[in-house]
Amino acid sequence: MTHTHHRRGDRKSLQNDYVVLAMVTRDYPEQTTYKGPLEERVKKFIEICAKYNPVAIASTDKAGNAMRYMKGWEKRMDSGIHKSATVEEVAKNPVAFRHAVYINKEDVINVIRELKDADLGLSVVVSGIFDEVFDICRKVGTGPHTVNLSLETWGKTELLPKEPVLSLLTMCGHAMISRYLIEELINRVKDGKMTPEDAAVEMGKQCTCNIFNPVRGAEIIRQYLGLTK
């Protein structure tokens, strides 16, 4: 599960892209039972994440349904198994947390600070630019404990799509967003048939883990096509 890893782009673009996730190990039951029922701590975790302007956030409800919020995703855009939810619906009665995506460092600082104070015992991982995330650690007074570095992509790299497709595609680490769909949606925006925001949502919907950053996605499309906001 390195799916929030290997996100491509330059510093300017990645500065607006943070993914927060939480996990409990299966190997040490002490973490599962730390300070009370896990379900309550998961709920608290999502409440905290939901407070600070996530552009995407997801949980699983008691019936096992994926509850997914993504900025700009309206009900009219639902299709297949991809159903939109509000932030409030995501935070209501979750049994499992998925991820939250942010575009502002200050929001991530607030999330991590509040999580530290809440002492929920969950392992928390932030994907983002290392020096920015390490700065968050310093400001909050925690970690960093361990890092996962990316040494890029090796092998037949000539098979890879060019930018901006690669930056958009790598925002879903499981590669559920087809490069061909990205190209088609960019062309639709170019032809004036779709907004960059709607195109980004259609891409992000395919990412079932809900870690696609729709705001960054729309900005990448806009910049590529030379469009102004």
Residues numbered 92-121 forming contacts with another protein, rule: CB under 8 A: 112, 115-116, 119-121
Nearest distance from C-beta of residue 147 to another protein, angstroms: 5
| Using rule CB under 8 A, residue 143 touches another protein | yes
What is d(CA 73, CA 176) in angstroms, rounded to the nearest whole number?
A: 18
Token pair listed for 115: 């999580």
| Using rule CB under 8 A, residue 146 touches another protein | yes
Dihedral (C-alpha) 212, 206, 218, 185: value to the nearest 10 degrees?
150
| Using rule CB under 8 A, residue 155 touches another protein | yes
Nearest distance from C-beta of residue 45 to another protein, angstroms: 10
Nearest distance from C-beta of residue 112 to another protein, angstroms: 6
| Using rule CB under 8 A, residue 5 touches another protein | yes
Nearest distance from C-beta of residue 87 to another protein, angstroms: 22
Residues 6+ apart with CB under 8 A from 228: 222
Binding mask 172-201 for another protein (x = CB under 8 A): -xxxxxxxxx-xx-----------------
Q: How far is CA 189 from CA 21, 165, 213, in A?
A: 32, 14, 18
* Residue from 134, 195, 223, 224 binding another protein (CB under 8 A): 134
What is d(CA 214, CA 209) in angstroms, rounded to the nearest whole number?
A: 13
For residues 28 and 41, is the Cβ–Cβ distance under 8 A? no
For residues 103 and 112, is the Cβ–Cβ distance under 8 A? no
| Using rule CB under 8 A, residue 166 touches another protein | yes
Nearest distance from C-beta of residue 220 to another protein, angstroms: 15
Backbone φ and ψ for 67, nearest 5 degrees, come out as -105, 115
* Residue from 152, 162, 191, 226 binding another protein (CB under 8 A): 152
Binding mask 16-55 for another protein (x = CB under 8 A): -x---x-xxxxxx-xx--xx--------------------
Nearest distance from C-beta of residue 136 to another protein, angstroms: 8
Q: If we measure between CA atoms, which residue out of 178, 180, 179, 200 comes closest to residue 189?
A: 200
For residues 7 and 172, is the Cβ–Cβ distance under 8 A? no
The count of chain residues that interact with another protein, using the rule CB under 8 A, is 82
Nearer to another protein, 79 or 228 (CB): 79
Token pair listed for 80: 């297949």
